[in-house]
Chain A
Amino acid sequence: MEEKALKPQKNTRTVAEINEKIRKGDAQVLTAEEMKRLVESSGVEVAFKEVDVVTTGTFGAMCSSGAIINVGHSDPPIKIDNAWINNVPICHPGAAVDLYIGATAMSETEPFEYGGGHLIEDLVKGEEVELRATAYGTDCYPRTQLKTNLTKDDLNQFYLLNFRNCYQHYNCAVNNRDETIYTYMGKLLPRMKNATYSGAGELNPLMNDPDYETIGIGTRIFLGGGQGYVIGEGTQHEASSQNGTLMVRGDAKKMDPEFLRGASFTRYGTTLYVGLGIPIPILNEGLAKKTAIRDEEIFTNVVDYGVPRRERPKLAKVNYKELKSGSVTVGERKIRVSSLSSLKTARQVAFTLKEWIDAGEFFLSAPVETLPLDTKFKGMKQTEPTAYVANVMQAAVTCKETEAVNAIAKRIVTKSVNHIMVVDDQGKLNGIVTSWDITRALAEGKTVLSDIVTRRVFTAKLDEPLETASKRMAQHHISALPVIDNEQRVLGIVTSEDVSKLLGRNQ
Chain B
Amino acid sequence: MARILLKFSEQIVDKPIVSQVILDLKVPIIIITAQLNSKGGEVLAEVANETLDKVVAAFRKKGVEVSLPKLIEVDKEKCISCGSCVALCPVEAITLAEDCSIVFNKEKCVGSTCSACVDACPARAIKSVKQNNHEVHSVRP
Which residues from chain A sit less than 8 Å from chain B, CB to CB?
59-61, 113, 182, 186-187, 189, 194-196, 261, 263-266, 271, 273, 326, 336-345, 347
Residues of B within 8 A of A340 (CB): 82-84, 122
Bound together, the chains give a CA A265 to CA B119 distance in angstroms of 8
| Complex Cα–Cα for A425 and B132 (A) | 57
**Cβ–Cβ contact B120 & A263, under 8 A:** no
19 contacts between A and B (CB under 8 A): A59-B80, A60-B82, A187-B84, A194-B88, A196-B84, A196-B87, A263-B80, A264-B124, A266-B120, A271-B122, A338-B87, A338-B88, A339-B86, A342-B83, A343-B81, A344-B100, A344-B101, A345-B80, A345-B81
CB B18 to nearest CB in A, in angstroms, measures 27
Residues of A within 8 A of B124 (CB): 113, 264
Known: A265-B122, A344-B101. A339 touches B88 (CB 8 A): no
B99 on the interface (CB 8 Å rule)? yes
Specify which chain B residues have a CB less than 8 angstroms from the CB of A263 in the assembled complex.
Answer: 80, 122-123
Q: Which residues of A contact B64 (CB under 8 A)?
A: none
Contact between chains at A186 and B100 (CB < 8 Å): no
- Residues A186 and B80 in contact in the complex (CB < 8 Å), given A338-B85, A338-B86: no
Which 4 interchain pairs have the tightest Cβ spacing? A336-B87, A263-B122, A344-B100, A338-B87
What residues on B are CB-neighbors of A186 within 8 Å?
Answer: 84, 120, 122
Q: B83 contacts A261, CB within 8 Å?
A: no
The answer to whether B31 has its CB under 8 Å from any CB of chain A is no
Q: Is B22 an interface residue (CB 8 A)?
A: no
Is there a chain A Cβ closer than 8 Å to B96's Cβ?
Answer: yes
**What's the dominant secondary structure at chain B's contact region?**
loop
Q: Give chain A residues whose Cβ lies under 8 Å from the Cβ of B87.
A: 194-196, 326, 336-338
Roughly how many angstroms separate A265 CA and B122 CA in the complex, as a whole number?
A: 5
Known A-B contacts A344-B99, A344-B100; the reply to A339 vs B83 at CB < 8 A is yes
B54–chain A nearest beta-carbon distance, Å: 39
Residues of B near A271 (CB, < 8 A) are 122
- List the A side residues contacting B82 at CB < 8 Å: 60, 273, 339-342
Interface residues of B, count at CB 8 A = 19
* Complexed CA–CA distance, A182 and B118 (Å): 13
Which chain A positions have C-beta within 8 A of B99?
A: 344, 347
Interface of A is mostly: strand
CB-CB under 8 A from A60, the residues of chain B are: 82
- Give the distance in Å from the alpha carbon of A95 to the alpha carbon of B20 in the complex: 76
Beyond contacts A186-B122, A342-B82, A344-B81: 18 other A-B pairs, Cβ-Cβ < 8 A, are A186-B84, A187-B88, A187-B116, A194-B87, A194-B88, A261-B80, A263-B122, A263-B123, A265-B122, A273-B80, A273-B82, A273-B122, A336-B86, A338-B85, A338-B87, A339-B86, A342-B80, A344-B101
**Alpha-carbon gap, A194 to B81, bound state (A):** 18
Tell me, in angstroms, the Cα distance from A342 to B79 when the chains sit together. 10
Q: How many angstroms from the CA of A271 to the CA of B122 in the assembled complex? A: 9
Q: Which of B83, B85, B122 has the most CB of A within 10 A?
A: B122
Which A-chain residue is minimally distant from B100 (CB atoms)? A344
In the bound complex, CA of A347 to CA of B101 (Å) = 12
Query: What's the minimum C-beta distance from B16 to chain A, rounded to whole angstroms?
Result: 25
- How near does chain B come to A244, taking the closest CB pair, in angstroms? 22
Complex Cα spacing A338 to B86, Å: 6
Asked if B120 contacts A187 (CB within 8 A), the reply is: yes
Q: Which residue of A lies closest to B95 (CB)?
A: A326
Q: Count chain A CB atoms within 10 A of each CB in B82, B119, B120 and give the residue with the most.
A: B82
Q: A103: shortest Cβ distance to chain B, in Å?
A: 12
Please determine whether A326 and B96 come into contact, CB atoms closer than 8 angstroms. Answer: yes
Task: List chain B residues, Cβ under 8 A from A194.
Answer: 87-88
Task: Name A194's closest neighbour in chain B (CB-CB).
Answer: B87
Q: Report the bound CA distance from A342 to B22 in whole Å.
A: 47
Q: For residue A187, which residues in chain B have a CB less than 8 angstroms away from its CB?
A: 84, 88, 116, 119-120
| Distance from B80 Cβ to chain A, minimum over Cβ atoms (Å) | 5
Q: In the complex, how many angstroms separate the beta carbon of A67 from the nearest chain B beta carbon?
A: 19
Q: Which of B89-104 contact A (CB under 8 A)?
A: 96, 99-101
In the complex formed, the residue of A with least CB distance to B124 is A264
Q: Beta-carbon contacts of B45-85 to A below 8 Å, as 1s and 0s?
A: 00000000000000000000000000000000000111111
Q: Which among B86, B88, B123 is the interface contact of A326 at CB below 8 angstroms? A: B86
What CA separation (Å) do A187 and B115 show in the bound complex? 13
Could you tell me the distance in whole angstroms from the C-beta of B128 to the nearest C-beta in chain A?
A: 14
Using A342-B81, A344-B101, A345-B80 as known contacts, say yes or no to A261 and B123 having CB atoms under 8 A apart: yes
B100→A347 contact, CB < 8 A: yes
Distance in angstroms between the alpha carbons of A187 and B122 in the assembled complex: 10
Q: What is the CA–CA distance of A344 and B80 in the complex, to the nearest angstrom?
A: 9
